[in-house]
Structure 1
């Protein structure tokens, strides 16, 4: 990262006050529970604010520079980091009870332009941010016999990443060759062609979330970060 980048990323981390007067706790709740509620409210406010300003990506593990990872906002690997209520487990509540300064790392939500200017940040292999348009595709290799229904909707490709179309269906076929010898093959139908493989042949797929999954996760983002918020980049 350049000198200015850490400051810009760090500024995206919510700054929470660890002191101050709290409202009297509700029956059955203690001051720590009330403080957690306030911290979560502040965390969500920061996330919603960045979301409304056009953030499309998030950097996780902000407190550990070597582990900082860039994700698309709809990335399934990012989802647990956005569920702030679930992250404040009993373990962390006990730590907060012992040390009022204890906080959890909050993802830094950034715009596409800001993401392009980052360096020293790893790209998530699940969602493939590819903000520069030149990152190698996250191909997954498996044997043709291993294709299953959950691969439908994913892109089939050559070993060097050229698209062979989106997988529509695959099936194991049994037959005989020209000499009458029994022979199995795997038929893979994509949106652009039909291919036949030996069951032991290696095939390559872009192991990325399907469009359906991406849309569903974007809707979940709106629900979590405010249904009345629409990022500027989505207009």
Structure 2
């Protein structure tokens, strides 16, 4: 018997990973951190390139026809997808340890023209991309007494989506009607007019981000993607 034979016997008697069903890490923690950094760098580089080429929209879940959604780049619902560091959670890092080929879905940044040519994509109800000009308006219905300070800056609308101006302030008031009966009413001052509603009457709001929120998100987007390009849509 040669000296190598006992070792071979030990190897033969030791259960393999496939026999025990236990998966062993392929990468060490330090290697995973470095790989994640390289992956994120590549993800951001791809998005910066698309942004620099005039992308104004993003499609999330592109790999899933049922979940594929079109957003404006400044959409608050898109923001978590653009923060690539937060996307690579401990769960995904552990998966990467076992499978170095594991990757996450990255939003596909597209131009307006490309967005118009997409099929099987639903429009985000938060930012209302409306690239075809025919998407239903994202109206939210609530009772007039439900208007609060956080609605200031949003557009008040008619039931069919006609603009009544941007909400400046609202106030619940109590007074007597012609018969002396106390009634609650709501005064709503918009950038276009002052309106009065009964407290239980329904009002409609274009539930879009305010101008202030949009400007802030656009600024953050420019910093994140590190580009001096300003998409044409932002100028209007």
Determine if the alignment matches structure 1 residue 73 to structure 2 residue 73.
yes
1:141 corresponds in structure 2 to 141
Contact 1:55 1:231 in 2 (8 A): no
2:228 corresponds in structure 1 to 229
Root-mean-square deviation (Å): 1.5
Per the TM alignment, residue 193 of structure 1 is displaced from its structure 2 partner at its CA by 1.1
Go from structure 1 to structure 2 and tell me whether the alpha carbon gap of 1:49 and 1:187 turns closer, same or farther (over 3 Å shift).
Answer: same
Aligned residues: 208
Please give the alpha-carbon distance, in whole angstroms, between the structure 1 residues aligned to 2:42 and 2:112: 24
Contact 1:53 1:231 in 2 (8 A): no
2:110 corresponds in structure 1 to 110
Per the TM alignment, residue 112 of structure 1 is displaced from its structure 2 partner at its CA by 0.4
2:124 corresponds in structure 1 to 124
Please give the alpha-carbon distance, in whole angstroms, between the structure 2 residues aligned to 1:46 and 1:186: 50
1:162 corresponds in structure 2 to 162
Contact 2:139 2:206 in 1 (8 A): yes
| SS state at 1:100 partner | coil
| SS state at 2:106 partner | coil
Determine if the alignment matches structure 1 residue 42 to structure 2 residue 42.
yes
| SS state at 2:51 partner | helix
Q: Deviations over 1:113-156 (max 9, x none)?
A: 10011111000000000001111100000000000011011111
Q: Deviations over 1:151-191 (max 9, x none)?
A: 01111111111111111110001111111111110001111
| Structure number with bigger Rg | 2
Instruction: Show structure 1 runs of 4+ deviating over 2 A.
Output: 231-235
1:200 corresponds in structure 2 to 200
Per the TM alignment, residue 232 of structure 1 is displaced from its structure 2 partner at its CA by 4.9
TM-score w.r.t. the length of structure 2 is 0.85
Please give the alpha-carbon distance, in whole angstroms, between the structure 1 residues aligned to 2:222 and 2:70: 20
Trace 1:3-42 onto structure 2 (pairs within 5 A): 30-42=30-42
1:19 corresponds in structure 2 to none
1:185 corresponds in structure 2 to 185
Note the residue ranges of structure 2 that are not aligned, 5 or more in a row.
1-27
TM-score w.r.t. the length of structure 1 is 0.86
Please give the alpha-carbon distance, in whole angstroms, between the structure 1 residues aligned to 2:179 and 2:91: 67
Go from structure 1 to structure 2 and tell me whether the alpha carbon gap of 1:103 and 1:72 turns closer, same or farther (over 3 Å shift).
Answer: same
Please give the alpha-carbon distance, in whole angstroms, between the structure 2 residues aligned to 1:115 and 1:131: 7
